[in-house]
Amino acid sequence: MGVQGQITRFNERNANTFAAQSPAAATLPSRALLLVASLAVICFFLIWSSPAEGQVSVLTQHNDIARTGQNINETVLTPANVNSTRFGKLFVQNVDGSIIGQPLYLPNVVIPGQPSPHNIVFVATQHDGVYAFDADTNQPPLWNVSFIEPEVTSVPISSYGCTGTGFTEVGIMGTPVIDPTSGTLYLVSKTLEYGEHVFRLHALDVTTGMEKFGGPMEISASVPNLKGTLNFNATVEMQRPALLLENGAIYIGFGGNGCDQYAYQGWLLAYDAQTLQQLAAYTVEPNGRRGAIWQSGAGPAADAAGNIYLATANGTFDANIGGSDYGDSFVKLNLQNGGLGVLDYFTPFDQTYLAAQDLDLGAGGVLLLPDQPGVHAHELISGGKEGTVYVVDRDHMGHFHSGDDNQIVQVFPQAFAGELTSVPTYWNHNLYIGATGDFIKMFSLFGGQLFAQPVSQTPIIFNSGGPGTVSVSANGSSNGILWAILHGIGTLYAYDATNLSHQLYSSTQAPGLRDKLPALGHFVTPTVANGRVYVGGRTQLAVYGLMPALLPTSGDNQTVPDGTTLPIPLTIQANDSYESSPESGVSITCKDGGVGGTFSQAVMVTDSSGMANTIYTLPKKVRTITITCTSPGFVSGRFTENSVPGAPATVRIVSGNAQTAPVQSALPLPLVVLAVDVNSIPVPGTTVTFSDAGAGGTFYSSTVITDANGKASTSYVTSSKAARIKITAAASGAKSAIFTETVTSP
């Protein structure tokens, strides 16, 4: 059992954790193994742990050796915060070539000479470079190594390669694997040395990048066949599948260089993880050719007993008549007695057609489900270029039946319109499968049976290279997010994993191409770990996550008269979204949407506590004002301020002045006034008193409160004496309005 499987056994009481980490959590073979596993886990925590407990590791392709693709320990990213406002591209790291393998993640690693541990993301390139980056910050690599030397180069695609892949070179292709107990990163490079193509297995110290265990080990192999001996030919092989670490052995798969121009075979080699000595060599077709193991970059999978599962591509098939060739098959292998032997297999009834039409069954990788209820406890799910989905009992895989595939658990012929060049993803009793030219679909799994109709699907069809292999992040059985990449255009998508019709995020949503994904290679798989998403590109590693935020700390929601200065300055803090730590030296610009207010500082810079402030004077208008403070790469901060009228400064005549009426009669029009402040803004709620200086007339109401528009009105009846009279409309503290009216004799 591998280290990852040993760690997983301690989570047996949690079914979800069991499913996420490894199928190797089914049973404990002995008290002795339990003791060994316990010691391994204790050593792991002594070496790698830090105060940041609970951080997840991504040590192998698609998260675990069952290739489930789920991370159920994601507590930071949720459907509520993964949106274009709060989530986006944090930074990129430049590399020397295209990253094809999935980035791996190891937290809390102590680097020699560094004052504190680092969370590290590891990537390898087609230019034979390996990088260890701090996973959380944009800084130079913690270390990087290159296997290029004066007489050693990466392998150009023109050297027995296929231009249709879009690759320019084929140095390091397969996703590496990490042994956290020994602190070792295993990977395979391909180089061109003095005109010869050479594969090497490297075991690098995760803290320094230095070679370990006497490495690197040059890869060669041979197996017997009907003609005598078949030798491994490095020139025409590509190491595309991810590496597998299981039970102390490193498993390495090989296939063709991306087309069918050369006579290659599909190989699986096993090496001792401590000595780097070869343990076994196996080819899927010792007497045939072109039966590659590539799986779109997915690695072989392993179960609790250490059995290895893989899918093979087009090639010779004769196992049904006693032969040794397994083209277009799911194969179950076991390492024993110095060799890799086939324990069981399944081959579709239309294998001849698949091979003739280049419809590789092995275009997609295999997923091992957690134990299922019912008669088929151990199941495998996969599919290939034909778009058919297969559910196979791993204990009785079914071999080959002429005419149909009724011997297996389930088969869904052409369930997808396009090619399945990916690994299915499992989470919370659901399967997520994507194909080129179709939607990503979510299927429900119950009692070991897959429902034929999808529960939901994405709003868009994934053309232009398809979605590749998708991943799910979740906190246990909640907050599930499906992550997918549209490869042709280069777009990162996030969907609600309980309902794929609900898109949460796209890297094309933010304005100004803020989150643009770098150019990508084929079948790139995103890595989600501890609140960030890592995507490998052709020249860069892109890191996505929660954007740092500008947080208003004081001065919000003040109410003052129009045209006046807010009594409390607007204070804002630049804050990291992960550590909640302040960020100094951040330039912040605040704007009020063009309503006409003024700032004491149009541009502020945060101090050592991450704080900045400005004084705001409101415009001479009454309104609610939204002030938005921005800084590139930060979530904007917003203040809401309320401008209200000031105290009444003037009472103005609106209408009713200079009227004439007989004695003891009403003026034809009412007397209407407007109360305004110093900025001529109407003031509602002002008490206005009307008086005629003893002229003896009567008012309908001598005291009136201005309405919402600042107006007050009353009617006036003249006295019995003809005269020219003045009527005053007064408000406290304000200049009065004076009407002049004429009272005539009858």
Which class is 549-644 in CATH? mainly beta
Q: How many percent of the chain have pLDDT more than 70?
A: 93
Q: Same fold for the domain at 39-546 and the one at 650-744?
A: no
What are the DSSP calls for 547-571, one per residue? Answer: PPEEEEEES-S-EEETTPBPSS-EE
Residue 54: its pLDDT value, please? 57
d(CA 250, CA 273): 6
Q: Classify 650-744 by CATH class.
A: mainly beta
> Band of the pLDDT at 290, cuts 50, 70, 90?
confident
Confidence class for position 356, pLDDT limits 50, 70, 90: very high
Give me the mean pLDDT over the 329-349 stretch: 96
Of 16-25, 130-139, 180-189, 369-378, where does mean pLDDT reach its minimum? 16-25
Average pLDDT value for residue range 410-428: 95
Is domain 39-546 given the CATH code 3.40.50.1700 in the classification?
Answer: no
End-to-end CA distance of the chain: 118
Encoded tokens for 231? 């030798």
Q: What is the pLDDT of residue 42?
A: 34
What pLDDT does 550 receive? 96
What is the tens place of the pLDDT at every residue in 608-644?
999 999 999 999 999 999 999 999 889 999 999 999 9
pLDDT for residue 166: 84
Q: What average pLDDT does range 513-522 have in this prediction?
A: 93
Question: Shortest CA distance to 725 belongs to which of 690, 675, 673?
Answer: 690
With cut-offs at 50, 70 and 90, classify the pLDDT of residue 582: very high
Q: Looking at residue 468, what is its pLDDT?
A: 84
For range 5-27, the mean pLDDT = 34
Is 50 exceeded by the pLDDT of residue 68? Answer: yes
**What percent of the chain lies above the pLDDT cut of 90?**
86
Q: Does residue 292 sit in helix, strand or coil?
A: coil
Given a cut of 70, whether residue 259 has pLDDT beyond it is: yes
pLDDT tens column, 685-731: 999 999 999 999 999 999 999 999 999 999 999 999 999 999 999 99
- Every domain of the chain and the residues it spans: 39-546, 549-644, 650-744
d(CA 283, CA 232): 9
Specify which residues 427 forms β-bridges with. Answer: 430
Question: Over 60: is that where the pLDDT of 38 sits?
Answer: no
CB 325 within 8 A of CB 319: yes
**Who wins on pLDDT, 475 or 633?**
475
Q: Which residues of 384-419 are buried (b: 16+ CB within 10 A; e: fewer)?
A: bbbbbbbbbbbeebbebeeeebebbbbbbeebbebb
**Calpha distance 13→32 (Å, rounded):** 20
Residue 578 DSSP code: T
